[in-house]
Structure 1
Amino acid sequence: MQLSTLLKPSAVRVIGTLSSKKRLFQELGDIAASVHGLRTQDVVEALLEREGLGPTGVGQGVALPHARLAGLESVQGAFVRLEKPIEFDAVDRKPVDLVFALFAPEDAGVEHLKALATVSRTMRDSALCTKLRANVDPLTLHAVLTEGASIQAA
């Protein structure tokens, strides 16, 4: 699975300051609404519900929130780079500044897991994360993410 199939350039954003994880989920809901045609509130509720099962902050400043939602035909993503990291209850207790969210159809089984594995592998690459933190242009961030995943898949 390639990140370029999951992540549209319009679903990549840089955000200056957020006050909380819930506010981040609101931003992700807004992105999902504008790019993927979902309802913001549905996305926020689904992300909060999933987060209630256990935090999706995987460490090293990275979070991978994800949720299943009605109205999707395939797994879709959104990426947010935060200029000011926020507390996220990550496994290493460090604040988060790189967030790759996945939105999957309600009945997506293997497809959702493959997408999550691809994103997880990509975001574990410390050199790639350094490049993401060094850029503020959404199109550059999209290119770094999608090119990095293609190179890793090769």
Structure 2
Amino acid sequence: MALSTIILPEHVFIGMSAPTKWRALQMLSSKAASCFGLDEATVLRALETRERLGTTGIGNGVAVPHAAIAGMTRPRGLLVRFSHPVDFEAIDDIPTEWAFVLLFGEGGRSDYLNVLSAIARRLRTEGVLTAMRQAKSADELYSVFMSDSVA
């Protein structure tokens, strides 16, 4: 499953600001609900429930808030770069610069694992995180993240 079919260019945002991870989850829920035609309260409840199980801060400045949403037929995602890092209580204690919000249907948990694996592989590619930090626009951030080659 290609990341470009899950995170579309119009679902990339730069400059969101949140003082806490819980406020960030509210803002991310609002953005996801708007982008995907979902109920904001449902998305927020699902993301908060998942976050209470353990942090979605996977380290190196990245968080992957995710949840199953009833009625979704395919995985959908957002890529957000915060204007100031947010403490997501990541496993390496590094504040979160980027959030990859992943929403999937209740039967799509294996889809989520495949998407998370693809994101992790991409972020481990040499130069990707540096190029993402240097991106000046949402379009540039999307291009850098999705590109097979990083300059």
- Fold-level similarity (TM above 0.5): yes
Contact 2:68 2:109 in 1 (8 A): no
**2:138 corresponds to which residue?**
138
Task: Report the TM-score when normalising by structure 2.
Answer: 0.91
Q: Kindly tell me: are residues 142 and 61 of structure 1, through their superposed partners in 2, closer, same or farther at Cα, counting changes over 3 Å?
A: same
Q: Kindly tell me: are residues 56 and 124 of structure 1, through their superposed partners in 2, closer, same or farther at Cα, counting changes over 3 Å?
A: farther
Aligned pairs for 1:4-153 within 5 A: 4-125=4-125, 127-148=127-148
In 1, Cα distance between equivalents of 2:16 and 2:57: 19
Structure 1 residue 111 displacement after superposition: 1.8
Q: Kindly tell me: are residues 134 and 120 of structure 1, through their superposed partners in 2, closer, same or farther at Cα, counting changes over 3 Å?
A: same
Contact 2:16 2:80 in 1 (8 A): no
CA deviation digits over 1:6-32, x for unaligned, max 9?
101121101253111112112211221
- Aligned length in residues: 150
Contact 2:128 2:144 in 1 (8 A): yes
Q: Kindly tell me: are residues 136 and 41 of structure 1, through their superposed partners in 2, closer, same or farther at Cα, counting changes over 3 Å?
A: farther
Contact 1:3 1:145 in 2 (8 A): no
> Gaps spanning 5+ residues in structure 1: where?
none
Give the aligned residue type for 1:144: V
After the TM superposition, list the runs of 4 or more consecutive aligned residues in structure 1 that deviate by more than 2 angstroms: 123-126
In 1, Cα distance between equivalents of 2:125 and 2:54: 23
Matched residue SS, 1:13: strand
In 2, Cα distance between equivalents of 1:16 and 1:26: 12
Task: Report the TM-score when normalising by structure 1.
Answer: 0.89
**Identity percentage over the alignment?**
35
> Gaps spanning 5+ residues in structure 2: where?
none
Compare the two structures and name the one with the higher helix fraction.
1
CA RMSD of aligned residues (A): 1.7
